[in-house]
C-alpha cells in the first residue's frame, strides 16, 4: 500500500475561489450548438428550440459562466448575422471549421439559453477579420439600455432589457497561424488596446480578457504575453491561457502526471504578468482566464474523414475514458491551487465537442466520464482554498520524475462549516493510505466519501453503455479529532466531504 500525508490549516489560505473557475465553453463548432444545446425538433425542446435534457445536465454541473461563440469560429464571425428575424439571417461559410453556419442561434438566443442554464455569458469579439468598431457596437447592442442605434436595434429584435454581459474576450488565439486574421504580438496588442478602449468607453463596467499564446508549446510563448500586456495593460483585466492534453503514447504514468505542466504553465504566465507590472511600475494586478482546457485527442483521426461544408458536422467528438477523468480531476485540483490568480476557467467544451455531455440527434443525452470530477469540483469546491502541505510516495515515468501518487487540495465553505478534500490516487495498482492533519477543524465529521474508481483505464461511457460513474465509499474514511485517515482506491478520483 502506498502512503501519503496531507497537512492543512484553517488559517493558511491560498485565497477565495471565484465561482467562475468552473466555467465552460460553447463554440459554433460541430454539434455543440446545433444538435447540442439547440434542436427544435427534439422531444424535449422548449419553445425556443433548446433541449431540456441537455439543460438539466448543464444545471447539474452548476456552470456559472460560458464562453461564446468561439474559439476559432469567432475570428471570422460577423455578429450582426446572428440577430434579427431568423428567416433573414444569412447562411455563411465558416472557414475555421469548414462548415456551414446557418445563424439560427446568435447573441440573443444564446443569452436566453445561458439564463435558463443559470449561467452568465462570457462573450468573445472578432479581432481577426474585424476590429474595435464592430466590438464596441456589440457591447452597445448587448449592454446599453436604450436610446442609441444599436440598443434600439436590439429592442426592435424583441429584446427590451439589455443582456448586461460583463466579461468579454478580445479575440481568440491570435498568434496561431490557423487563425483567421492571425497577428504578430505587436499587431494584436495594438488592435486589442484600441478595441478595449472603445468597449470600456461604451460600458465602463465590463471586464476584458486579452489573448495569451495559443498554448504553452507555441514558439511565441512568453514573448507574446510580454508584448501584448505591454500594449494593453492599462485597459484589460485578464490574460488568457489555453492548454489541451493527450495520451497518444498510451502511457498512463505520464498521462496522469500532465497536471505538472499545467501548473507550470500557470505559474509561468503569472510571472510574466508580474514582470510587466513591475516594468510599468503599476499597482494593478492582471489575473488569469484559463478559458480553454481539457483532454483532446481521441477524435483527431476521425475528423479527417468528415466531409466539408455541412451544417453541424460531427467534429471533435472525443469519447472520454476513465483515465481521462483522472487527469481532469488532477487539472481541477491545480486550478483550485492557483485560484489566487486564476479567476476564470472554461472547460472546453460543454456539449458534444470535447465535452462532458454527449447527445444523439433526436435521442438521448448522457454524461461522459469527465463529467463527474467537474461536477464534484463545481458543486463542492466553492469557498476558500487551503494551502496543501503534501508528503507522498512517488514514482518515475518516462517524461516526469518524482511524481507524487497523491494530488490533493482542500476547500472550506465557512458559511456552511463544510470542508472538502479533493484527492487523486495516481497509482493504478495499489490503495493509497492518506493521513490528513486538519488544523483548526476539530469537530468536523465525514459526511460522504465519493470515489470514481475500479474501472479499466480505457473504459468509456457511450449511448449504449454507461458504466463509469462514482460510488459512495463506506468505512474507508474516518476522523478522530483533527486527524483524518482514508484509503483511496487504486487510480481514483475522491471527494471527501466533512461538516462541523
Cβ neighbours for 488, distance < 8 A, ≥ 6 positions apart: 406, 423, 425, 431, 432, 433, 434, 451, 494
Three cell numbers, residue 105: 442561434
- Say whether 292 is catalytic: yes
Query: Using CA atoms, how far apart are residues 81 and 233, in angstroms rounded to an integer?
Result: 32
List the grid coordinates of 54: 441537455
Task: Indicate which residue of 80, 101, 173, 194 is catalytic.
Answer: 173
Farthest CA pair distance, the chain: 69
Q: Cis bond leading into 71, ω under 30°?
A: yes
Residues composing the chain: 500
Vertex 48: Cα angle to 42 and 54 (nearest 5): 50
Distance, CA of 367 to CA of 452 (rounded, Å): 14
- CB contact at 8 A, 450 and 376: yes
CA distance 401 to 423: 20
| Cα–Cα distance, 281 to 436 (Å, whole number) | 42
The catalytically annotated residue of 80, 292, 323, 418 is 292
Alpha-carbon span 306 to 386, nearest angstrom:
46
- 3-state secondary structure labels for all residues of 343-398: EEEEEECCECCCCCEEECCCCCEEECCCHHHHHHHHHHCCEEEECCEEEECEECCC
Known catalytic membership, residue 323 = no
CA 292 centroid distance within chain: 5
Q: Do 325 and 369 meet the contact criterion of CB atoms below 8 Å apart?
A: yes
Query: What is the C-alpha to C-alpha distance for residues 132 and 50, in angstroms, rounded to an integer?
Result: 32
Helix (H, G, I), strand (E, B) or coil at 319: coil
Residue linked to cell 467562475? 20
Catalytic residue set: 173, 292
Amino acid at each position: 500500500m502506498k502512503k501519503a500525508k496531507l497537512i492543512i490549516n484553517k488559517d493558511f489560505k491560498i485565497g477565495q475561489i471565484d465561482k467562475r473557475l468552473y466555467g465552460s465553453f460553447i463554440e459554433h463548432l460541430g454539434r455543440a450548438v446545433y444538435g447540442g444545446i439547440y434542436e427544435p425538433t427534439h422531444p424535449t425542446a422548449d419553445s425556443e428550440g433548446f433541449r431540456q435534457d441537455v439543460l438539466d445536465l448543464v444545471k447539474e454541473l452548476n456552470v456559472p459562466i460560458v464562453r461564446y461563440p468561439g474559439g476559432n469560429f469567432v475570428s471570422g464571425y460577423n455578429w450582426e448575422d446572428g440577430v434579427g428575424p431568423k428567416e433573414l439571417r444569412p447562411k455563411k461559410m465558416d472557414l475555421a471549421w469548414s462548415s456551414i453556419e446557418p445563424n439560427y442561434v446568435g447573441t440573443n438566443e444564446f443569452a436566453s439559453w445561458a439564463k435558463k442554464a443559470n449561467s452568465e455569458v462570457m462573450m468573445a469579439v472578432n479581432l481577426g477579420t474585424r476590429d474595435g468598431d464592430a466590438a464596441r457596437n456589440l457591447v452597445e447592442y448587448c449592454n446599453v439600455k436604450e436610446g442609441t442605434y444599436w440598443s434600439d436595434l436590439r429592442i426592435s429584435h424583441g429584446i427590451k432589457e439589455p443582456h448586461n454581459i460583463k466579461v468579454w474576450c478580445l479575440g481568440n488565439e491570435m498568434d496561431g497561424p490557423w487563425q483567421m486574421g492571425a497577428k504578430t504580438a505587436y499587431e494584436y496588442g495594438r488592435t486589442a488596446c484600441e478595441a478595449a478602449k472603445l468597449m470600456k468607453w461604451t460600458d465602463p463596467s465590463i471586464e476584458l480578457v486579452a489573448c495569451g499564446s495559443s498554448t504553452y508549446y507555441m514558439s511565441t510563448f512568453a514573448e507574446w504575453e510580454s508584448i501584448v500586456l505591454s500594449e494593453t495593460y492599462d485597459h484589460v483585466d485578464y490574460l488568457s491561457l489555453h492548454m489541451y492534453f493527450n495520451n497518444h503514447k498510451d502511457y498512463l504514468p505520464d498521462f496522469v502526471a500532465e497536471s505538472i505542466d499545467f501548473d507550470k504553465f500557470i505559474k509561468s504566465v503569472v510571472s510574466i504578468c508580474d514582470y510587466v507590472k513591475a516594468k510599468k511600475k503599476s499597482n494593478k494586478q492582471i489575473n488569469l482566464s484559463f478559458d480553454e482546457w481539457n483532454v483532446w485527442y481521441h477524435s483527431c483521426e476521425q475528423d479527417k474523414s468528415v466531409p466539408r461544408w455541412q451544417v453541424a458536422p460531427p467534429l471533435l467528438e472525443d469519447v472520454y475514458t476513465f483515465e481521462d477523468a483522472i487527469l481532469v480531476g488532477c487539472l481541477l485540483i491545480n486550478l483550485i491551487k492557483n485560484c489566487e490568480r486564476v479567476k476564470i476557467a472554461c472547460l472546453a467544451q460543454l456539449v458534444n465537442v470535447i465535452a462532458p455531455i454527449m447527445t444523439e440527434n433526436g435521442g438521448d443525452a448522457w454524461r461522459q466520464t469527465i463529467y463527474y470530477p467537474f461536477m464534484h469540483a463545481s458543486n463542492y469546491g466553492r469557498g476558500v482554498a487551503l494551502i496543501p502541505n503534501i508528503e507522498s510516495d512517488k514514482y518515475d515515468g518516462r517524461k516526469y520524475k518524482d511524481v507524487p501518487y497523491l494530488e490533493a487540495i482542500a476547500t472550506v465553505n465557512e458559511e456552511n462549516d463544510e470542508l472538502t478534500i479533493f484527492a487523486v490516487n495516481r497509482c493504478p495498482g495499489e490503495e493509497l493510505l492518506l493521513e490528513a492533519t486538519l488544523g483548526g477543524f476539530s469537530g468536523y465529521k465525514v459526511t460522504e466519501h465519493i470515489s470514481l474508481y475500479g474501472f479499466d483505464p480505457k473504459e468509456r461511457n457511450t449511448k449504449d453503455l454507461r458504466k463509469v460513474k462514482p460510488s459512495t465509499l463506506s468505512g474507508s474514511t474516518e476522523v478522530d479529532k483533527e486527524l483524518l485517515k482514508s484509503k483511496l482506491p487504486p487510480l481514483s478520483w475522491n471527494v471527501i466531504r466533512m461538516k462541523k
